[in-house]
Amino acid sequence: MAKEKKLPRHKSVYLLPNLLTTTSLFIGFLGLTWAIKGDYTSCALCILASCVFDGLDGKVARLTGTTSEFGVQLDSLADLVAFGVVPATMTYLWMLEGYGRLGLMAAFLFMACGALRLARFNVQASTGSKKHFVGLPIPGAACTLATLVLFAEYIPASYTQSVLPISALVLVYVLSFFMVSTIRFYSFKEISAFKAHPFSWMVTAILVFSLVASRPKFLGFIIFLGYLISGPIYTLFLLSRRGSKRLLRDDTEELG
C-alpha cells in the first residue's frame, strides 16, 4: 500500500493566515445578523473580535513567510465586510435611521470611504512608510463605532435620545473623512523603541491592559477616540518639523 505523501510544511502552514482571515469574515457576518436582529452590543463585540483576527492573520503570514497576493486580496475583501458593511449597517439601524436619507447616506459614505481606504492601502503598501498610516485605517474606524455602542450605557438616559444620535451622525462623517484623508496616524509597527526600552514598554503595556480590563466598555471608546484625535496632532507635528527642516536647509543654501 502506497504511503500518503505529506505536504511540505510551508504548504500546510500557508492555509493558516487565510483561515484566520476567513474567521474574521465569519465573525463579521455573524455581527451583521445580530445587528439586523437589534442586538447591537453583540454586533459591536463581533467587530472587535474581527479586528483581533484581522491583526493575527497578517502577523502569522509574516512570521511563517506565507504572505501572498491572494492573501492580501482576501484580507481586503474580508475587511470591507467586517469593518465596512457591518459597522455601517449597525450604526444606521442603531442611531441613524431616524435621520432618513441623511442617515442612510452617512452609513453608505462610511462603507464607500472604507472601500477607498482599502484600495489606496493596497496600492501604496509596498511604497508607503511603515511608521504611519495615510488616512485612518478602516479597522480603527469600525472599532470606534463599536466601542461607542458599548460606551452608550454610560451616557445618561436624558442624553440618549437627543445628544447620542447627532453625535453618532457627526462621528460617522468624521470617520469617513479621516479614512480618505492624508492625515497621518501612527502605525505602531516600528519596534526600535520597544527594543531600546523593553522593560519600560512591558510595564506600560501591563498597566494599560490592567486599566482597560477594569472598565473595558468605558475606556475602549476613550482609547479609540484618543487615537482618532492623535492623527491631526501627529500630522501637524510632522508637517511643522519638516517645514522647519526645509526652512533651515534653504537658509543654509543661501548662506553658502
Domain count, the chain: 1
Q: Are 103 and 92 in contact (CB under 8 A)?
A: yes
Sign of CA dihedral 165, 142, 204, 53: positive
Compute the mean pLDDT over every residue in the chain, rounded to the nearest whole number.
82
Domain assignment present for residue 238? The answer is: yes
Instruction: Report residue 186's pLDDT band, with 50, 70 and 90 as the boundaries.
Output: confident
What's at 116, amino acid-wise? L
Q: What is the pLDDT of residue 10?
A: 55
* Chain centre distance of CA 237: 22
Domain assignment present for residue 72? The answer is: yes
Domain assignment present for residue 129? The answer is: yes
Residue whose C-alpha is closest to residue 146's, from 96, 97, 87, 194: 87
State the angle between helix axes of 138-151 and 101-124 in degrees (0 to 180), rounded to the nearest 10. 140
| Alpha helices by DSSP H, the chain | 9-13, 15-37, 40-64, 69-80, 86-91, 101-124, 138-151, 157-160, 163-180, 192-196, 198-214, 216-255
Instruction: Report residue 149's pLDDT band, with 50, 70 and 90 as the boundaries.
Output: very high
Instruction: Report residue 5's pLDDT band, with 50, 70 and 90 as the boundaries.
Output: very low
Domain assignment present for residue 2? The answer is: no
Domain assignment present for residue 1? The answer is: no
Q: Which of 21-30, 37-46, 58-67, 114-123 bottoms out in mean pLDDT, i.e. has the lowest?
A: 58-67
Q: Rounded to an integer, what distance in angstroms lies between the CA atom of residue 186 and that of residue 36?
A: 34
Q: Rounded to an integer, what distance in angstroms lies between the CA atom of residue 65 and that of residue 15?
A: 12
Q: Which domain holds residue 35?
A: 11-255
Residue whose C-alpha is closest to residue 184's, from 240, 222, 143: 240
Domain assignment present for residue 5? The answer is: no
- pLDDT tens-digit series, residues 203-219: 776 777 777 677 778 88
Residue environment code for 107-138, b if the CB has 16+ CB neighbours within 10 A, otherwise e: bebbbbbbbebbeebeeeeeeeeeebbbbbbb
* Mean pLDDT, range 125-132, rounded to an integer: 69
Domain assignment present for residue 128? The answer is: yes
The grid coordinates listed for 67 are: 504572505
The grid coordinates listed for 218 are: 468605558
> Hey, which residues does 185 pair with through a beta bridge?
133
Q: What CATH number does residue 222 fall under?
A: 1.20.120.1760
Domain assignment present for residue 82? The answer is: yes
